[in-house]
Amino acid sequence: MDTASRIAIGAINVSASPHPPGTYETLIRMVANIEIPVGGSDYAKITPPFESATQPDILHGRICVWTIIEKDSDWFNRSTNDKASESDKKKVIIPEDIAPNYRYFLYAFNVKSHKLIFEMRNEFRQSFGSRRAEKFFTQLFEHLPEGIETVDITLIPDEGSVDAILTLPKLRFLKIHVTRPNPEDLTDEFNAVMEKLNAQKARTFVQELYKAPRVESLIPDEETRTLAHVASTNGFVEGKSRDVQDSTKSHPKIIQVEVPKNGSALARFFSAFLHF
């Protein structure tokens, strides 16, 4: 009987500035094989991407995660329940290019939409969580090829997260942090925001609202609400009430996809682009 594995997929929005034709292809190939610490003794990198045979705008590969063993640190002798001696450690031979605790997660990058999807949980039930992914891609895209000045990434949140923050009961503080979006993503009403950023040579736009004294709650107007929705995929939104502190970063959008053992796992993985 054909059984299916269920994988969980998240996504980030990537915004490079400037980005003439070919920028995103150059960027994703440039950062391949750069090793990034992702917490504890773990490191990660992406493999050089393959071009999709069926979807020419998609580049795909693996996020490889492994553990670095520090040979010069203290080791534990499980037989003696004590620190391993130097003579014990000399018996351990680990080739430089071999590392333990390997796991991998698929990634795919659509160079037209500049969205990158990745497995947050793979078919082996191993996880590459949203906070780890955000840290990894942020540091990875600090390594820029010549001609690209900045790259901003945003972990795409669940659709309802912005409205949930804007409608917090007794909302006392609201922060909207907008990073430089790709111009083709903007509607006409946000050209003024981009013009302001460009005119002042600014990379980001931050709006903070604090509740006035003796009123129960902030009441965001339509312009603020629209700006918050732009920030959800190009930056982040934070809100605080008397009892709650929330952020779009805390609510990543997650798509569950079933991958049959005898079907095309890659095609099912690519299908997640339809949801981001």
User: Does residue 88 lie within any of the structural domains?
Assistant: no
Domain match, 124 and 244 both: no
Residue with tokens 């605790």: 101
pLDDT confidence of 251, banded at 50, 70, 90?
very high
* Lowest mean per-residue pLDDT among 3-7, 27-31, 84-88, 240-244: 3-7
pLDDT score, position 185: 66
Mean pLDDT value of segment 78-95: 91
Residue at 122: amino acid letter: N
Dig out the tokens for 81 from the structure.
């329940």
Instruction: Count structural domains, the chain.
Output: 2
Domain match, 146 and 203 both: no
Q: How far apart are CA 186 and CA 205, in angstroms?
A: 15
Q: Which structural domain range is residue 236 located in?
A: 161-250
Distance of CA 179 to the CA centre of its chain: 15
Other CB atoms within a 10 A radius of the CB of residue 109 amount to: 23
User: Does residue 91 lie within any of the structural domains?
Assistant: no
β-strands 235-240, 4-17 pairing:
unpaired
pLDDT tens track for 149-206: 889 999 999 999 999 999 999 999 999 999 987 766 666 656 767 777 888 888 899 9
Check: pTM over 0.85? Answer yes or no: yes
Q: How far apart are CA 99 and CA 151, in angstroms?
A: 30
User: Does residue 85 lie within any of the structural domains?
Assistant: no
Domain match, 127 and 64 both: yes
> Is the Cα torsion angle 125, 127, 130, 133 positive or negative in sign?
negative
User: Does residue 145 lie within any of the structural domains?
Assistant: yes
**203 φ, ψ (degrees, to nearest 5):** -95, -35
